[in-house]
């Protein structure tokens, strides 16, 4: 039945997952596109058939009856096509409201999740995220990251401001952290360098370690 594949696609995207973003289901997306092409072809054939028919006077009543039936069938095909389109947009990026599926803003849409990943983890996609993306999503993330960086670099009289840091007012400027994995040297704003090695503990400016906390390199203790 038309529309079932895209329902599966939406259910998959709204399923709870411990991953930052679920693997992109290219196979199911292609099947939905194939279904839409079939619907489009069927509609085109039906409309072309209607335009070519020239009903005779004696067959006018039967012709009107057939035309009403075809009109009803065409409406069903059109609704199925638009439903598939709606679900594809919801799966990839759009906000679709007032429906029995959870299409609420910022919950499950893949591009919204990619935006959050950029703001939380930075411009470099973690390997476990990148392997779950389509090629188009990887290109989109690179373009979004580049545009965001260009915008932030133009702020503060072209001196630049990293808007991804301290999005919430910090309660204190320094935090105590523990290294979860080996990272190497980290240069501070005063020119000093600290070496972040596994299980080492440091008292660092929040502005320098916030990204590393989001990336899982550091763990905030106090």
Mean model confidence pLDDT for the chain? 81
- The 8-class DSSP code of residue 23 comes to P
Q: What percent of the chain has pLDDT over 70?
A: 80
Tens of pLDDT, residues 40-93: 998 888 877 765 555 555 555 555 656 677 788 888 889 999 999 988 888 887
Query: For 110-158, CATH number?
Result: 1.20.58.1030
Tens of pLDDT, residues 4-54: 888 888 887 777 555 678 888 899 999 999 999 999 998 888 877 765 555
As a whole number, mean pLDDT of residues 208-215 equals 85
Q: Where are the domains of the chain?
A: 4-92, 110-158, 174-220
Cα Dmax for the chain: 96
pLDDT of res. 163 = 86
pLDDT of res. 31 = 93
Q: pTM (2 decimals)?
A: 0.61
- Residue 206 CB neighbours (<10 A): 17
Query: For 4-92, CATH number?
Result: 1.20.58.1030
pLDDT of res. 202 = 92
pLDDT of res. 106 = 39
Report DSSP letters for 86-152, one per residue: HHHHHHHT----SSSS---TTTS-HHHHHHHHHHHH-SSPPHHHHTTS-HHHHHHHHHHHHHHHHHH
Tens of pLDDT, residues 82-111: 999 988 888 887 443 433 444 444 344 788
Which of 74-94 are b and which e, b meaning 16 or more Cβ less than 10 Å from the residue's Cβ? eeebeebbebbebbbebbbeb
pLDDT of res. 198 = 92
Tens of pLDDT, residues 139-175: 999 999 999 999 999 988 888 888 887 677 667 788 8
pLDDT of res. 48 = 79
pLDDT of res. 55 = 54
- Which sign, positive or negative, has the C-alpha torsion 86, 92, 94, 96? positive
pLDDT of res. 210 = 85
Tens of pLDDT, residues 178-195: 999 999 999 888 788 999
pLDDT of res. 56 = 53
pLDDT tier at 209, thresholds 50, 70, 90:
confident
């Amino acid at each position: 039945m038309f529309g079932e594949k895209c329902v599966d696609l939406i259910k998959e995207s709204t399923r709870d997952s411990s991953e930052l973003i679920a693997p992109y289901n290219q196979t199911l997306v292609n099947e939905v596109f194939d279904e839409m092409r079939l619907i489009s072809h069927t509609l085109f054939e039906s409309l072309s058939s209607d335009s070519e028919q020239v009903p005779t006077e004696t067959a006018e009543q039967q012709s009107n009856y057939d035309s009403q039936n075809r009109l009803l069938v065409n409406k069903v095909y059109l609704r199925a096509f638009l439903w598939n389109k709606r679900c594809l947009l919801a799966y990839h990026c759009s906000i679709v409201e007032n429906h029995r599926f959870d299409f609420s803003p910022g919950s499950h849409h893949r591009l919204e999740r990619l935006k959050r990943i950029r703001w939380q983890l930075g411009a470099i996609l973690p390997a476990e995220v990148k392997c779950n993306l389509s090629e188009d999503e990887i290109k989109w993330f690179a373009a979004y990251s580049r545009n965001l960086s260009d915008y932030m670099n133009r702020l503060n009289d072209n001196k630049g401001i990293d808007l991804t840091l301290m999005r919430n007012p910090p309660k204190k400027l320094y935090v105590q952290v523990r290294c979860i994995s080996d990272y190497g040297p980290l240069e501070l704003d005063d020119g000093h360098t600290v070496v972040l090695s596994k299980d080492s503990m440091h008292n660092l400016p929040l502005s320098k370690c916030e990204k590393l906390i989001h990336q899982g390199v550091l763990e905030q203790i106090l």
